Amino acid sequence: MAGIAIVKAGMLTSVQDLGRWGLQARGVPVAGPMDEYSHRLANHLVGNPPAAAALEITLIGPELQALDDVLCAVAGATFALTAAGAPVPLHQPFVLRSGTSLRFGPRTRGARATLAVRGGLAVPEVFGSRATSLIARMGPFDGRSLRAGDVLPIGDGSATPAAGRTEAAIAGLPMPAGGARLRVLAGPHAEMFTSAAFDTLLNGRYTITPQSNRMGYRLDGPRLAHRGAADILSDATAIGSIQVPASGQPIVLMADRQTTGGYPKIATVISADLPIAGQLAPGDWVEFKACTRDEARAAARGRFGAFYGPVR
């Protein structure tokens, strides 16, 4: 079986598929990619199904060595890529020859890239998924990020350019540079906040703090006031939910979020903008803009429709 060896792991490199869905009621977190769009695109470019396991690469990229000829594609954050010292394009399939190293150089835009290989990463499944949940320590390699010396087996697939998708029908996600405006819908606990709190959220600018991670972005900015207590009976959490603890500083829940949470949720980032959110990093700014449900549906169709047809 073909494989890829980790020579240098980078800052945070993990195996992700589209997540471990359907078990949240049993306390099993979803995990999955921070930027689902780029995960789908990288797999599309090498001819994989969208849920195939791939590498998510964060801020500082790894060095990888092919143990056999491997068809690859990288989508998402803009890194300077080289194979055998030669530049490698983003958002296009390429063959990494046996014994050749792929190096991720300086990053200029975005925070996370997805590296997909033809055949997918054939690591063992846990509860039907190959996604790494760093918080729950669940998934391949005992739920940890990758280290130098790790070897990733690759599933069956032809390592030829013809096996990939070379058409330019699906563009790469526009990468944020220093921050982004994210569209939101009012959350399920909006009535627990003062009448001015939602306007404060929409009119303020927040900064992603260093305490942020794949579980959630802790934001620093204008305080959001509760009408009363800042606690609720724990209920289900969705990716993109904006929780507000007693401090009044919002937290945007991301891919490694817990299954339930005890803070009221003032708003939710719409599905179409979650990939943009996934490309942000500590120090970046965030602004929020209200939209309607119809606008959110139209945006989802525009963002994801090319991958799996009409979004209802």
Tens-place pLDDT, residues 101-155: 999 999 999 999 999 999 999 999 999 999 999 999 999 999 999 999 999 999 9
Verify that 55 and 197 share a domain, yes or no. Answer: no
Question: Are 64 and 191 in a shared domain?
Answer: no
Residue 170 maps to a domain: no
Q: Which residues pair with 200 in a beta bridge?
A: none
Burial of 243 (C-beta count, 10 Å sphere; 0-12/13-18/19+): buried
Cβ(278)–Cβ(34) under 8 Å? Answer: yes
pLDDT tens, position by position, 183-230: 999 999 999 999 899 999 999 999 999 999 999 999 999 999 999 989
The reply to whether 135 and 265 lie within a common domain is no
Decide if 169 is inside a domain.
Answer: no
Number of structural domains the chain divides into? 2
Segment 275-279 shows an average pLDDT of: 98
- 157 — pLDDT class (breaks 50, 70, 90): confident
Q: Residue 197: give its domain's CATH number.
A: 2.40.100.10
SS3 150: coil
42 shares its domain with 142? yes
Answer yes or no: do 295 and 218 share one domain. Answer: yes
Whether residue 88 has pLDDT greater than 50? yes
Task: Show which of 163, 193, 219 is a domain's final residue.
Answer: 163
| pLDDT at residue 80 is higher than 80 | yes
pLDDT in tens, 240-256: 999 999 999 999 999 99
Confidence check: pLDDT of 23 > 90 = yes
- pLDDT band per the 50, 70, 90 thresholds, residue 311: very low
Please tell me the predicted confidence (pLDDT) of residue 170.
Answer: 85
Helix (H) or strand (E) holding 185: strand 179-186
Note whether residue 250 is domain-resident: yes
Confidence check: pLDDT of 308 > 90: no
| Confidence at residue 154, expressed as pLDDT on a 0 to 100 scale | 97
Mean pLDDT of 30-54: 97
Query: Of 213, 218, 228, which is closest to residue 249 (Cα–Cα)?
Result: 218
Q: What was the pLDDT predicted at 57?
A: 98
Q: Is residue 253 part of a domain?
A: yes
DSSP conformation letters of 96-144 = E-TT-EEEEEEEEEEEEEEEEETT-B-PPPBTTB---BTTTTBSHHHH-
Question: What confidence score (pLDDT) does residue 310 get?
Answer: 45
Residue 165 has pLDDT above 70, yes or no: no
Label residue 161 by pLDDT band (50, 70, 90): low
159 with 41, same domain? yes
Closest CA to 171 of 55, 80, 92: 92
Confidence band for 162, pLDDT divided at 50, 70 and 90:
low
Taking each helix axis from N to C end, the angle separating 36-45 and 293-308, rounded to the nearest 10 degrees, works out to 20
CA-nearest of 88, 50, 85 to 71 is: 88
Do residue 197 and residue 88 come from a single domain?
A: no
| pLDDT band with cut points at 50, 70 and 90 for residue 306 | confident
pLDDT at 156: 87
Q: Containing domain of residue 117, as a range?
A: 3-163
Per-chain mean pLDDT for the chain: 94
